[in-house]
């Protein structure tokens, strides 16, 4: 991922990245510890943003809320199908191995924030890094991602 832009408006930091191989943009909104979304998984609530939320993570590796979230996922997956446990277990190992380190994803901030993100690599989006048939979708540029981030920030502000 390549950082395209990072800024702070009001209480919220924002970041836009570009996927290295797909060439599509992703948008991220950070929330502070006082926010009700802080520590939650993106799949635990609805947000009206392009394609839905697809990412949530604390700025630092090994945050207790991140560990708890992954442990819960492991328990849930074990009830569904034990064969899919490998992925969340590897994520948990990674979190514990790097505990306290500042994550560079989507960007280093030095802030105590919880990131939420979405991507622009859905079936109806233009995806330059895939075969030509995927080039016919709608190009989601930086202005579009900024607008979606502002929309998400509005929802985050209402949740306070």
Number of Cβ within a 10 Å radius of residue 3: 14
Q: What are the residue boundaries of the structural domains of the chain, listed by start?
A: 2-60+108-159, 61-101
Q: Which strand ranges, in their side-by-side order, compose the sheet holding 12-18?
A: 2-9, 12-18, 25-31, 114-119, 55-58
| pTM, to two decimals | 0.86
pLDDT tens for residues 10-52? 889 999 999 999 999 999 999 999 999 999 989 888 899 999 9
pLDDT beyond 70 at 133: no
Q: Are 140 and 126 in contact, with CB atoms under 8 Å apart?
A: yes
What average pLDDT does the structure give for the chain? 88
Who's near 64: CB < 8 A, 6+ residues apart? Answer: none
CA neighbor of 47 nearest in space, from 125, 120, 153? 153
Residue 92 pLDDT > 90? no
Quote the CA–CA distance of 28 and 31 in Å, as a whole number.
10
Kindly state the average pLDDT of the residues 62-70: 83
HSE at residue 63, side-chain half, CA atoms within 13 A, is 21
**137: closest CA among 42, 29, 14, 25?**
25
Helix, strand, coil shares of the chain, percent, nearest 5, are 35, 20, 40
Two tokens, residue 17: 């990245």
């Amino acid at each position: 991922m390549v950082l395209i832009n990072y800024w702070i408006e009001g209480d919220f930091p924002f970041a836009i990245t570009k996927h290295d191989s797909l060439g599509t943009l992703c948008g991220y909104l950070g929330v502070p510890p006082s926010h009700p979304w802080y520590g939650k998984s993106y799949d635990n609530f609805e947000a009206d943003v392009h394609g839905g939320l697809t990412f949530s993570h604390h700025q630092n590796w090994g945050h207790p809320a991140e560990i708890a979230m992954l442990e819960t996922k492991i328990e849930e997956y074990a009830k569904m199908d034990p064969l899919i446990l490998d992925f969340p277990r590897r994520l948990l190992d990674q979190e514990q191995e790097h505990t306290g380190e500042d994550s560079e994803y989507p960007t280093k901030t030095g802030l105590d924030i919880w990131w939420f993100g979405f991507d622009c690599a859905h079936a109806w989006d233009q995806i330059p890094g895939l075969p030509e048939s995927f080039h016919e979708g709608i190009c989601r540029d930086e202005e579009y991602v900024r607008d979606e981030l502002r929309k998400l920030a509005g929802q985050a502000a209402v949740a306070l």
